[in-house]
Amino acid sequence: MAKRRRLSAPDTTELEQMEAGFAAKPSLNPFEAKGATPPIAKVAAEAATLNSMASVTDRVALAQDQGDAARWRDAQETGLVAEMIPLNQIDADFIRRDRMVEDDEAMNELLDSLRSHGLRTPVEVTKNEDGFGLISGYRRLKAFRLLADTDSSFSSIPAFVREAGSGQGAYISMVEENEIRSNLSSYERGRVAVLAAGQGVFDSTEAAVDALFAAASKAKRSKVRSFAIVHEALGDLLQHPVSLTEKAGLKLAAALRSGAQPKLRQVLADAGALEVREEWALLEEALKSTPKPTKEKARGGRPQQVLHLKPVQLPGGGKVSAELSSTEVRIKISLQDVSAEDAEELVRQIAEHLS
């Protein structure tokens, strides 16, 4: 009986020699010139290659995701990403609006468009203590609130959240949007400059005009200032201020500069309800008996430097502003219902102070 041979497991060195022998063994196919690689080695190599490719692909996708996330955060921080904000969190009266007249026909068209196509241009808001304050898009917000009464899908509105605050940036954004989308009337331009200055956002009406209408020509800003004078002097009594033509507004401003305010205010205060043409006819008749404005002859040399002093708000409403030049001081008191006796007393006190 043959003696059985005890088998022993090969060590590491023997295994390496066996693997090298398999790799060097010639192919069984006589038509192959090169040696054949063992199947297990092929599988391992292909798996490693595929794994390496997958890793590269994953790394590229990860880099793209990280880049997209960074760009998204940047866009969100600069107010370029629209967010859905509930209507009850937006204060429509956050700043004084520049537009005065609502066009019912245009509003109905906007409502129909929103029902059919939704909102294509988000409103602009800024964060405040209680939520958000509306900067631009008053009509769109109002339309959403009307639609939300019967359709809950309009309970939130797409909005760009800007870092405008409640100061100059908010007013500039509002005016710029309305200038682009739908031109304001000359009176509305002057009025919003007065309102912004009255809230202390700008040092004076002149400064407000320069900032709010910086892209306008010098001549256009001059016209806006003229209508600002009309609003300050007669805005509370005019029944159809937006209907004033440019020519009519400039004519009123010139008369007001010449001291026609008391007479024009009295004429408007005594009038009842008036149509557009009737109101202007009344003013035009009053202007005939007011002194003609005198034009000062232009003098050569450098233009006079004028310093606009910071206005002082009055406790009961109104303000006192002043302009100082090398030759004169102009003091302007914006206050309603001042009697002639009070005005004379003010002039007397100023004269005593300067004497």
Q: What is the pLDDT of residue 18?
A: 64
Give yes or no: residues 235 and 96 share one domain: yes
Q: How confident is the model at residue 321 (pLDDT cuts 50, 70, 90)?
A: confident
H or E segment and range at residue 73? helix 39-77
**Does residue 291 sit within a domain?**
no
Of residues 119 and 50, which shows the higher confidence score?
119
Provide the number of structural domains found in the chain.
3
Average pLDDT over residues 4-26: 62
Give yes or no: residues 147 and 223 share one domain: yes
- At which of 240, 263, 294 does a domain end? 240
Give yes or no: residues 215 and 123 share one domain: yes
Model confidence pLDDT, tens digit, residues 247-296: 999 999 988 888 888 888 888 888 888 898 999 999 998 888 776 655 55
- Domain assignment of residue 125, given as a range: 82-240
Give yes or no: residues 171 and 108 share one domain: yes
Q: What is the pLDDT of residue 340?
A: 82
pTM of the model: 0.47
Give yes or no: residues 122 and 168 share one domain: yes
**Does residue 35 sit within a domain?**
no
- At which of 77, 93, 128 does a domain end? 77
Identity of residue 354: L
Of residues 47 and 340, which shows the higher confidence score?
340
Output the CA–CA distances (angstroms, integers) from residue 280 to 101, 243, 287, in the order listed.
18, 9, 10
Residue entry with tokens 């009025």: 191
Give yes or no: residues 159 and 73 share one domain: no
Of residues 126 and 98, which shows the higher confidence score?
126
Give yes or no: residues 63 and 197 share one domain: no
Q: How confident is the model at residue 146 (pLDDT cuts 50, 70, 90)?
A: very high
Give yes or no: residues 86 and 220 share one domain: yes
**Does residue 39 sit within a domain?**
no
Average pLDDT over residues 24-44: 57
Give yes or no: residues 99 and 227 share one domain: yes
Identity of residue 162: R
Range with the poorest average pLDDT among 73-87, 172-186, 221-235, 247-261: 172-186
Average pLDDT over residues 293-321: 63
**Does residue 151 sit within a domain?**
yes
Q: What is the pLDDT of residue 300?
A: 43
Q: How confident is the model at residue 302 (pLDDT cuts 50, 70, 90)?
A: very low
Q: How confident is the model at residue 74 (pLDDT cuts 50, 70, 90)?
A: low
Residues 6+ apart with CB under 8 A from 284: 248
Give yes or no: residues 108 and 159 share one domain: yes
**Does residue 229 sit within a domain?**
yes
Average pLDDT over residues 39-59: 62
Burial classification of residue 69, based on how many CB atoms lie within 10 Å of its CB (0-12 exposed, 13-18 middle, 19 or more buried): exposed
% the chain with pLDDT above 70: 62
- At which of 240, 268, 292 does a domain end? 240
**Does residue 297 sit within a domain?**
no
Model confidence pLDDT, tens digit, residues 10-20: 666 665 666 66
Both structure tokens of 312: 């002082």
Give yes or no: residues 88 and 67 share one domain: no
The answer to whether residue 147 scores a pLDDT higher than 90 is yes
Residues 6+ apart with CB under 8 A from 301: none
Average pLDDT over residues 197-226: 82
Q: How confident is the model at residue 144 (pLDDT cuts 50, 70, 90)?
A: very high
Strand 312-313 relative to strand 319-324, pairing = antiparallel
Q: What is the pLDDT of residue 86?
A: 93
Residues 6+ apart with CB under 8 A from 121: 137, 140
Q: Find the DSSP H helices in 78-131.
A: 104-117
**Does residue 146 sit within a domain?**
yes
Q: What is the pLDDT of residue 304?
A: 44
Mean pLDDT, the chain, rounded, equals 75
Average pLDDT over residues 216-232: 88
Give yes or no: residues 61 and 186 share one domain: no
**Does residue 254 sit within a domain?**
no
Model confidence pLDDT, tens digit, residues 169-200: 666 666 665 554 556 788 888 888 887 777 66
